[in-house]
Amino acid sequence: MEKYLTIEHIQQLIAKLTTLGAEFGVKLVTAIAIFIIGRWVAIGLKNLIDTAMRKAKVDETLISFTVHLSYIAMIAFVVIAALGQLGIQTTSFIAVLGAAGLAVGLALQGSLSNFAAGVLMLIFRPFKVGDYVEGAGVAGSVKEIQIFTTILTTPDNKTIIVPNAKITGDNITNYATQGTRRIDMAFAIAYNEDIDKAKRTLLDLIKSDNRLLENPAPQIAVGEAGNGRVNILCRPWVKADDYWDAYFDMMETVKKRFDAENIKPPVPRQDIHLFQQNKP
């Protein structure tokens, strides 16, 4: 038996479409409202995080990264909530994102370890830009601290880029935190030379150099005696920025002053024993 489309059927279809349209319209308006309000809240929280971190005097690099990462995470949550309001199943979507994040994390585990190390360095600040540090088998002045790497410049103007994980995974020696450094030098004189005269000469040279500090007091002492030589230790203190200039000048000045004072260096000596062998 054939069925004909009657006016009653059309009216029922229109009524259903109207009902579905009204329901979907409400969901659509709600989803849009969730997105707009959520985005507004995300911007507010982003600004709040930025203000709080700046008041805490956190490094600018970490502030920028944290603020943007937080904002992206909040926007992602808002979008998922809006899609859920429209009736879209977000469970599988979240699972796919989780699996993709796990795969990316495994592929970039080295970079992630450098990132984590960079965040810790920016938070705990074992050193700052301008400090002369030694770590991960290299040494130099810190030029820039980035999220993944730290850039050092050596005294001979080389640039060294070190992964952050290597720096935090090794001992870090910071030569700038205390403000002063001790110059450790040893000067060898001949065994029969006047030790007191050599020590007075070194003390006079220290007093004549304004870069060498009176406090802490310098140390001048005999470090070793024997084998035809006496090693006199000379350990003055300087400001960290003056270390190398004072070191090189002191080495040159001591050599010239010892020559002027006729304080002789040790002469290498080697004993040779001759044995006469009688031929049969």
Pick the CATH number of 126-174 from 1.10.3720.10, 2.30.30.60, 2.60.40.10, 3.40.30.10: 2.30.30.60
End-to-end CA distance of the chain: 143
* Sign of CA pseudo-dihedral 43, 44, 45, 47: positive
Bond before 216 cis per omega within 30 degrees: yes
Q: What is the pLDDT of residue 1?
A: 41
Domain residues of the chain, as ranges?
Answer: 7-107, 126-174, 180-260
Q: What is the pLDDT of residue 184?
A: 95
Retrieve residue 121's tokens. 């360095």
Backbone φ, ψ for residue 91 (5° rounding): -65, -50
Site of tokens 């090693």:
231
Backbone φ, ψ for residue 131 (5° rounding): -75, 145
Q: Which CATH number is 180-260 given?
A: 3.30.70.100
Hey, how many other C-beta atoms are within 10 angstroms of the C-beta on 131? 17
Pick the CATH number of 7-107 from 1.10.1740.10, 1.10.287.1260, 1.20.1440.60, 3.40.50.720: 1.10.287.1260
Q: What is the pLDDT of residue 2?
A: 47
Q: What are the mean pLDDT values of the chain's consecutive 10-residue runs (280 residues total)?
A: 57 64 70 86 88 78 74 84 74 67 60 81 85 92 87 93 90 90 95 94 95 94 90 95 93 95 85 68
Q: What is the pLDDT of residue 19?
A: 66
Q: What is the pLDDT of residue 194?
A: 94
Amino acid residing at 61: T
Q: What is the pLDDT of residue 234?
A: 96
Q: What is the pLDDT of residue 64?
A: 72
Q: What is the pLDDT of residue 56?
A: 76
Q: What is the pLDDT of residue 148?
A: 85
